[in-house]
Structure 1
Amino acid sequence: MYRDHAVLRFSLSTPDDRIALSRAARKMNIDVWDSGSNFTDMRVSRRGTGPFLSMLPESLQTAYNVLIDDLASAIAATYPSMSGFESSKADGSAMGETSAHSEATETTRSKKPRSHQPESLFFKNYQPLETINTWLSLLDSMFQGGLVEKFSIGKTAEGRDIPALRVGLGPGESNAGSSTRKTILITGGLHAREWISISTVNYLAWSFITSYGEDELVSKILGDYDIVFIPVVNPDGYEYSWTEDRLWRKTRQETTMPYCPGVDLDHAFGYQWGPAESQSEPCSITYGGEGPFHAVEAAQLAQWAKNEVQNNNVKFVAYFDLHSYSQQILWPYAYSCSARVPNLENMMEVAMNIAKYMRLSSGDVYTVDSACEGAVAAQSGATSDDNMGSKRQVELSGGSALDYFFHDIQARYSYQIKLRDTGTYGFLLPPSHIVPTGQEMFQALKYFGDYLLGNNGHEWIQSTENQHVLG
């Protein structure tokens, strides 16, 4: 279905350029992939390229280059080959059956899979929803003793479970005497087409579980903190991206337009939800619903989090919302560049160190910024008919999960992390990047856990230097 489509990167030199590009994109309902301070990436059909360019000022009509010329081939490359996929499923089943049978009576501390090479199994390819659900259940069954708990945070609009894993010892061991479950929440897959975010959350869950009892720092982190992993917040959309449309972004919820289903989950949360132009049109890919929490999955995630705080003695200390692409680490607020973050200095310090240790892990550079500035439209010079002001973004950001968990759930450290890459593949990152991206995030979260433990990363640094991770 994308045989005649390409992804173009427009270079923007003035605020007026951005405003003109944004206006034309809205009129033609163009799929905006990414937007930075001086560029915007867009998917355009070859048939529609001429009419789209004709709507732009002359300065923009040649100010672009082609990032992906053959979009259909790039899409095909992200799906596993049938033979490779079946082999991976068979190997994964055999691993689970062998481990579960031979180690069923062991305690959590001694229970470890015999192989620590997930890249040759589950993480060799992107995996469909059914396989992910089976794999999460397998992890739950393999690790006894209270370290791992699989559960559902609720149901989607189409009736699917939204699966989650809680990893940690709770308040019963090193937290003895305290009933509070200090919790780090990590989500992926709010946008269906961002497959790398889903694989990365799965990789993080695997890495923390299998490192417990072997990695001293991971054991300390899980002794003091629970980590809740929700790999696919949008299961309906993710399933649809496998069966019908690889580039589907929204949920599959019915809207007032029968031929335009779906709500953008990252514009659907209650804090500073607003009916901006692109968020109020059901056919827009950034449609935020008819009101706050109109999206079923956003409402389920928020209700689960509130219930955890109010009834289960949970305190969310951090929230990491994984997305793609552009290699950015963003802190609140997304809805406004003028809103002040009370703990901004600490937020920036942690973000810069997360970026640092991701770079030390792989060499890839991640930038840091506030969420509103991460894709800022312009610093000055908006035209008089653009009453949104000089900092309008191509993709508006009201009602984000990032802002909601920071402000309403009061997760002190909240970040949206846009994973690989910077545009070469965009949302169609090859499967060979799954493990390196997961390793980047795992090392970054080990630093963050050490920071929460009061060591400011020093113990993490010493540990990794001893293991020659940093080189």
Structure 2
Amino acid sequence: MLRLCLLQLLLLLTTTGGIKRLAGIPRAPLLIWRSVSTLPELLSLNGNELYESTLESLQWLSPTDLRRYNFLSPGSTYQINRRYRNNASVRRYYGYQLWKLHETRLSQPQLKRFLRHFGSELWNINQDGIDVLIEHKNVEAAKQYMAQTSFTYNIMIDDIERAIDETYTEISEADTDNTLANYSLPWLNREGSLLTWRRYHDQADMQQFMQNILENHSELTEIIQIGITRNKRPLEVLRISNGDPNNWAIFVEAGMQARDWLSPAALTYAISKLTWLWEEGLADKSMHQIDWYFLPLANPDGYQYSRLTDRLWTKNRNYDSATRCYGVNLDRNFDYSWGEAGSSSNACANLYHGEKSFSEAETRAMRNFLLGMRDYLGAYVSFGGYGQAITYPWGDDDYVTTNQRQLRKTARQAVLNFRRLNHAEYTMGTSFKQKLARGGNAADWVQHRIQPQFVYNVFLKDQGRYGYLMPPHYILESGEEAFEFLRTVAQQLARIKY
């Protein structure tokens, strides 16, 4: 049927002598059937070849890549929405764009005016500039405004909805030749595990992965439920230890921002690699001397909501009855400098800090668990997206911590290790200098209240090309970086007497 319909379409568009002109099409020469020159050649094509050739021939009719509408392809918009986003309430971002403004000084009046009138949300500030989400209805006006200023910009993503589709795709066998994506690595082929690191997985798949690790490494691991979310999802910490009571502890979490899918995937990769190397006797000696506590998904409700309903959702799923808005930004809900710069009192805003500090089940669970570790916690590490930066306290102001010298030294070593690993370029410094000031963040609270040797936020890839919409091709590369950072911290911590 598909073949017959395509043939009928071609007969309508073509004549024996060449191409029939269509109303409204410019009189410049057009070659509709670019891939097939003769009718016998056309008839010899199979269904898939005919479909591909027809789309290539008709591409000039639309500025959109028509191939993504191939309903037979697993990576098509149709199939993606059928599998993952089939709810009628799914939030769409057709025509939204991500711009990078080549400027970092937010105080400039023209820039402030631009962000106020045209920017739907400021995603990030990094060494390359300011990343701003532009709503489709504001795109043309934003371009006109920028043309009247001295600012320059690049359109990093010209259609957010299409970029969202990319985050649901799966790496095929044809992609396994990439040296930075070696899917034959033994820790990626765990019998019984649902995680493949070829795509981003649901929260339930990560939970099953934790159970698989527990079953296969029962002498090293245990799972500790530290709390439960509003939607009754467990907050589970995986503990890996050799049982030595003299070990330092390192607490590692990821996925506090729901739309950040890369950091949970990268951290589960690091966990899989660590446990495999540990069992094989190949792990770095310093990593054996650590009690590891992993919380791969600190915001499971928000993460799952971003999977099924709103890909750019960033908060948890608490409900504010007064405003009828959902969600609190968990990294603004801790009580150090709570409610100050970089957060919002607007319950509908992405930076909403909550009704009060520790108002959320997720942050209370982390607080209680970390306070119980205060006597032996050597390091706190938070993986997130994005920006390619290693940061440490403070994030609320430009103050100096008592341990800043060793924080800077270890961060510098990690930057060098990343460069050797895969030529990745990371910046480093205090959170205040590297990012927006953000009162109520978790790292500052840990530094203030518990004072471990090391406290870090590691913002993984990238620097704004994809932002929060990193394609799954980057999972393995980022997983290696997460593992390398943890190894670097373990080595430095091993040099400090417990």
**What TM-score do you get using the length of structure 2 for normalisation?**
0.73
In the alignment, what sits opposite 1:371?
431
Q: CA RMSD in A?
A: 2.8
Query: For 1:125 and 1:53, how far apart are their aligned partners in 2?
Result: 35
Spell out the pairing of 1:152-167 with structure 2 (5 A cutoff). Answer: 152-167=225-240
Alignment of 1:249-328 (within 5 A): 249-276=314-341, 278-309=343-374, 315-328=376-389
Distance 1:185 1:416 in 2: 12
Instruction: Report if aligned partners of 2:106, 2:112 keep a CA contact under 8 Å in 1.
Output: no
Q: Give the secondary structure class of the aligned counterpart of 1:41.
A: strand
Partner of 2:199: 125
Deviation at 1:230, TM superposition (A): 0.5
1:163-242 paired onto structure 2 within 5 Å = 163-171=236-244, 175=245, 178=246, 182-222=248-288, 224-242=289-307
Residue 34 (structure 1) aligns with: 124
On the 8 A contact 2:230/2:318 being kept in 1, the answer is yes
Q: CA deviation at 1:316?
A: 1.1
SS in 2 for 1:123: coil
Following superposition, the deviation at residue 213 of structure 1 comes to 4.0
1:410 maps onto 2:471 in alignment: no
Q: Which residue of 1 aligns with 2:418?
A: 358
Which whole-Å CA distance do the structure 1 matches of 2:115 and 2:420 have between them? 38
Amino acid at match of 1:196: L
Q: Which one-letter code corresponds to 1:73 in the other structure? A: R
Verify the 8 A CA contact 1:211 1:219 in the aligned structure 2.
Answer: no
Offset, 1:132: 0.8
Distance in 2 separating the partners of 1:296 and 1:121: 27
Tell me if the contact between 1:29 and 1:284 (Cα under 8 Å) persists in the aligned partners.
Answer: no
Alignment correspondent of 1:135: 209
Cα offset, 1:260, TM superposition: 2.3
CA distance in 2, matches of 1:321, 1:54: 40
Q: Which residue of 2 aligns with 1:390?
A: none
Q: Which amino acid aligns with 1:367?
A: T
1:88 matched residue in structure 2: none
* CA distance in 1 between partners of 2:208 and 2:95 (Å): 36
State the alpha-carbon separation in 1 of the partners of residues 233 and 407 from structure 2: 35
Among residues 406, 429, 436, which one is paired with 2:477 in the alignment?
Answer: 436
- How far the C-alpha of 1:53 sits from its partner, in A, is 6.6
> Is 1:245 matched up with 2:319?
no
**2 CA distance for matches of 1:167 and 1:13?**
41
Distance across 2 between alignment mates of 1:37 and 1:422? 8
* Secondary structure, aligned partner of 2:326: coil
Does residue 116 of the first structure (1) align with residue 187 of the second (2)?
yes
Q: Distance in 1 between matches of 2:370 and 2:143?
A: 45
**TM-superposed deviation, 1:79:** 0.8
Alpha-carbon distance change, 48 to 12 in structure 1, aligned in 2, over 3 angstroms: same
Kept after mapping to 1: 8 A contact 2:378/2:493: no
Partner of 2:226, secondary structure, is strand
CA contact (8 A) 1:257 1:283 kept: no
SS in 1 for 2:325: coil
C-alpha contact (below 8 Å) 2:128/2:463 kept by paired residues: no
Change (3 A) 1:69 1:397: same
CA contact (8 A) 1:191 1:265 kept: yes
Distance in 1 separating the partners of 2:292 and 2:113: 42
Q: 1:443 to 1:307 in 2, by over 3 A?
A: closer
Task: Deviation per CA, 1:20-79: give whole Å up to 9, x if none.
Answer: 53465457772211113562111111202355678889426x532200002111111111
Q: Which whole-Å CA distance do the structure 2 matches of 1:128 and 1:117 have between them?
A: 17
> Kindly, what percent of the aligned residue pairs are identical?
26
- SS of 1:320's partner is strand
**1:373-420 CA-partner distances (Å, limit 9, x unpaired):** 002xxxxxxxxxxxxxxxxx4xx4001111011111222200101001
1:221: how far off?
2.3
TM-score, structure 1 normalization:
0.77
The one of 128, 138, 159 equivalent to 1:48 is 138
Aligned to 2:409: 349
CA apart distance, 1:170: 2.9
3-state secondary structure, aligned to 1:321: strand
Distance 1:133 1:7 in 2: 32
Distance change in 2, residues 1:26/1:341 (3 Å) = farther
Q: Secondary structure at the match of 2:132?
A: strand
CA shift in 2, pair 1:32/1:254, >3 Å: same
Q: Which residue identity is paired with 2:270? A: L
2:111 aligned partner, one-letter code: L
Query: How many residues are treated as equivalent by the alignment?
Result: 393
Aligned to 1:382: none
Aligned residue number for residue 148 of structure 1: 221
Partner amino acid, structure 1, of 2:456: Y
Q: Residues 117 and 252 (structure 1 numbering): CA distance in 2 closer, same or farther, change over 3 Å? A: closer
Q: CA separation in 2, counterparts of 1:353 and 1:236?
A: 35
What amino acid is aligned across from residue 212 of structure 1 in structure 2?
A: W
Letter in 2 for 1:294: S
Counterparts of 2:252 and 2:411 in 1: how far apart (Å)? 15
- Give how far 1:432 is off: 1.2
What's the counterpart of residue 16 of structure 2? none
The 1:28/1:288 distance shift into structure 2, 3 A limit, reads farther
Note if contact 1:328-1:366 (Cα within 8 Å) is conserved in structure 2: yes
Cα deviation code 1:427-456 (max 9, x no counterpart): 111111111111122123223212222299
Q: Is the contact made by 2:94 and 2:136 (CA closer than 8 Å) also made in structure 1?
A: no
Identify the residue that residue 461 of structure 1 maps to in structure 2: none
Local SS of the residue matching 2:320 = coil
Q: Is the 8 A contact 1:317 1:412 kept in 2?
A: yes
Structure 2 match to 1:6: 97
Q: Which structure 1 residue ranges, 5 or more long, are not aligned?
A: 86-113, 376-392, 457-471
Distance in 2, matches of 1:259 and 1:2, equals 22
Q: Return the offset for 1:252.
A: 0.8
Q: Deviations over 1:231-254 (max 9, x none)?
A: 110000000011101111111111
State how far apart, in whole Å, the 2-side matches of 1:23 and 1:232 are.
37
Amino acid at match of 2:396: Y
Report the AA paired with residue 48 of structure 1.
N
Where does residue 329 of structure 1 map in the other structure?
Answer: 390
Deviation at residue 218 of structure 1 after TM alignment: 3.1
Q: Which has the higher contact order (CA 8 A, sep 6+)?
A: 1
Secondary structure of the residue aligned to 1:170 is: coil
